[in-house]
Amino acid sequence: MKNLLMKPVLLNDVEFKVSQAMTSEKEWNWIAPQHGHIEHAANYYESSLADWHQFESLQTDLECDVLVIGGGLLGASTALHLAEQGVDTVLVEKNRIGSGASGRNGGQLTPGLARWEAEEMIEQLSHADAKKLWQFTSTEAMQLIDSILARYQIDAARKHGHITAAVHEGHLVALTQGADARKYLGENHTQVVGKHELYEYVKSDRYFGGLVDRLGGHIHPLALNRGLIYGFCQQGGQVYEHTEVVSIQEREDGIYVQTNTGCIKARKSVVLAVHHASFKLLEQKNQTTIPFYTYVCTTAPLNIELKQLLPQDHPVYDTQFQIDYYRGVSNNRLLFGGQGTGTCWNAEKTAQYLKGRILHVFPQLEQVELDFVWSGTTDLTVNGATDSRKSGDKFPVYAVHGWSGHGVAQTVRIGKAIADDFCGQPDDFEMLTQIQHQDILWGRALAPLVIPMAKGFYGVGAAMNPGKMVSF
């Protein structure tokens, strides 16, 4: 496998094709009809990469030291960092590598722990702990991605710089306070700019200024995900796709993990890197997250140059309650995302909404058309930080939930923290497990009701006090 597996290869543009991942009712892909009537089309990320290796499913029983369940960014990063430290590691994925949220997100790299940014950390933690956590989720997270890409020579379209654009002049106060909090914690990569200076970065009249963040950036998340798996295999790791875990049982000599095609005995540990299945597999009643659905599109090649919209090629997200986020991608296309819903929208409704948002931000794109639209799933916690857990009587079981649609870079960094904890360096992961989380009774089952109620509550607050920045 080490010699046969190739690195992810970025295409100059896209190939409209059938997705190699299995279909999912709540994670759908759509392409414009003029590109063919493909029943299960690939989304933009898969379409902009050359076809990649398909791993076999597990066909026999086996043993390893650590089993990683889930082939997204968290699982791939954990597996890579375990293998780099000489740990006998196996990774299983029920679908294909990066088929879930890790290969369906906006691709923006921003600091923070889900919805926890510097100010929240200062409010909740001592200065020393807040500083440590902020560095972990900002500078360290970005540097880790860059070091992995360099070490394995992976091209993942990594670019630097990020913009938070203020939709109300009052939001500049909150952005300034956020920048000040970051400086207080020892990180100084930001600059608050006014309306006219922001226009040099974003050619839209909708904003009153914003925060220019030199630390953030953007990336092709599926290329990153595949790159992590490539590195894992180079270190001797084993990967099995189309291998779904159905039960986990701890015994005296290890953890026995039953899949749909065989049993794996993990002699020392299991890592659950599977947002939605963790609670079921662990059979824990204290559920701390609510799932919700997100939506992204990419345009057809624009009839004006991307530099006329985003001269510095910085990705953007704004400060409205239901944020817009966007960035330039290959062949003069604009990737644009937004919304978070408790029930999954269909492709037609999503395309109409996202196209409307694009025209709101950039009315100069009168003839814009969408080539790709797709949905994704994520989850959130009550306090806004990710829920990192370590359980098990004799053998540790790791799990992380509650990304709130934020955290490409942090997911990779937490994967390393899990590997380090297993290898006897517990400081980073212990720091994450100290964050307290509130149980949400029936939260996952009632998401279709809870999400719109919460959005309605915060939306009314935002309407009554538009100068107060509350983003979802």
Identify the sign of the CA torsion 100, 103, 105, 111: positive
Cα angle 454, 382, 79 (rounded to 5 degrees) comes to 125
Say if residues 401 and 386 touch (Cβ distance below 8 Å).
Answer: yes
Model confidence at 404, pLDDT cuts 50, 70, 90, reads confident
Angle, nearest 10°, between helix axes 221-234 and 408-422? 20
Q: Which residues contact 108 (CB under 8 A, 6 or more apart)?
A: 162, 216, 217, 218, 315, 317, 325, 327, 408
Q: What are phi and psi of 44, to 5 degrees?
A: -60, -45
Question: Which pLDDT does position 464 carry in this prediction?
Answer: 63
Which is nearest to 73 in space by CA: 95, 97, 53, 91?
97
> What's the pLDDT tens digit per position in 256-283?
999 999 999 999 999 999 976 666 787 6
Question: Which pLDDT does position 282 carry in this prediction?
Answer: 75
Q: How far apart are CA 36 and CA 92, in angstroms?
A: 33
Rounded average pLDDT over 217-236: 98
Q: What are phi and psi of 197, to 5 degrees?
A: -70, -35
Encode 319-353: b = buried (16+ Cβ within 10 Å), e = exposed.
Answer: bbbbbbbbbbbbebbbbbbbbbbbebbebeebbeb
Question: Which pLDDT does position 47 carry in this prediction?
Answer: 98
Which is nearest to 33 in space by CA: 330, 372, 298, 376?
372
Say if residues 376 and 104 touch (Cβ distance below 8 Å).
Answer: yes
Q: How far apart are CA 373 and CA 284, in angstroms?
A: 35
Encode 389-400: b = buried (16+ Cβ within 10 Å), e = exposed.
Answer: bbeeeebbbbbb
Which is nearest to 164 in space by CA: 220, 209, 112?
209
Residue 209 has pLDDT above 80, yes or no: yes
Q: Report the predicted TM-score, pTM, of the whole model to 2 decimal places.
A: 0.95
DSSP state of 55: P
Helix (H) or strand (E) holding 124: helix 118-124
More confident residue, 12 or 449: 12
Residue 461 has pLDDT above 70, yes or no: no
Question: Which pLDDT does position 467 carry in this prediction?
Answer: 62
Question: Which pLDDT does position 289 carry in this prediction?
Answer: 86
Report residue 294 as tokens.
């997100």
Share of the chain above pLDDT 90, in %: 81
Q: How far apart are CA 17 and CA 38, in angstroms?
A: 7
Question: Which pLDDT does position 380 carry in this prediction?
Answer: 86
Tabulate helix, strand, coil % of the chain (nearest 5): 30, 25, 45
Rounded average pLDDT over 397-422: 94
> What's the pLDDT tens digit per position in 299-351?
999 999 999 999 999 999 999 988 999 999 999 999 999 998 888 999 999 99
Model confidence at 452, pLDDT cuts 50, 70, 90, reads low
Pairing of strands 190-194, 209-218: antiparallel
Q: What are phi and psi of 164, to 5 degrees?
A: -110, 115
Say if residues 228 and 147 touch (Cβ distance below 8 Å).
Answer: no
Structural Rg of the chain based on CA atoms: 21
Residue 124 has pLDDT above 90, yes or no: yes
Q: Which residues contact 195 (CB under 8 A, 6 or more apart)?
A: 207, 208, 209
Question: Which pLDDT does position 212 carry in this prediction?
Answer: 98
